[in-house]
Amino acid sequence: MPLLCQPDSLAALAACFKCMGPGTNLEVQVYLLCQILQSLAMPQSCDPNALAQAAKCFKCLPPQTLVQVQTYLLALLAGASTDPNTLQHQAKAFQSMSGATLEEIQTLLYCKIAGGS
């Protein structure tokens, strides 16, 4: 059955994740990112202790800075400019949208990247 990028369809598919709560969902997302990295033939241990040790250097960064670093890395992954001014200009159409709307769009984009229609 093809993946449909429709709210009701995705909510039904994701309903089983509701019982986990936000913290556990984040833990699962970290695990899945590691699995994706391994599927791209980029050897990486998915041992939580090893990953925590490897990521320990990021503890010195406040949460907002971590978001900024993630944005930079996403730009690299997308093959986009890493110049903040250029990216802000390119993303200008999204700047007037609420955080909730951006989360909804981000969910749709994840679905599309996952091969949904």
Tokens 């899945």 locate to 32
Which residue ranges of the chain lie beneath pLDDT 50?
none
Q: Considering the entire predicted model, what is its pTM?
A: 0.72
Query: 115: which DSSP letter?
Result: T
* Confidence at residue 28, expressed as pLDDT on a 0 to 100 scale: 82
* Confidence at residue 1, expressed as pLDDT on a 0 to 100 scale: 66
Rg (C-alpha) for the chain, rounded Å, is 16
Nearest CA-CA partner of 110 in 3, 18, 15: 3
What the block records as the tokens of 24 is: 């556990």
| Contact in structure between 111 and 13 (CB atoms under 8 Å) | no
* Confidence at residue 43, expressed as pLDDT on a 0 to 100 scale: 67
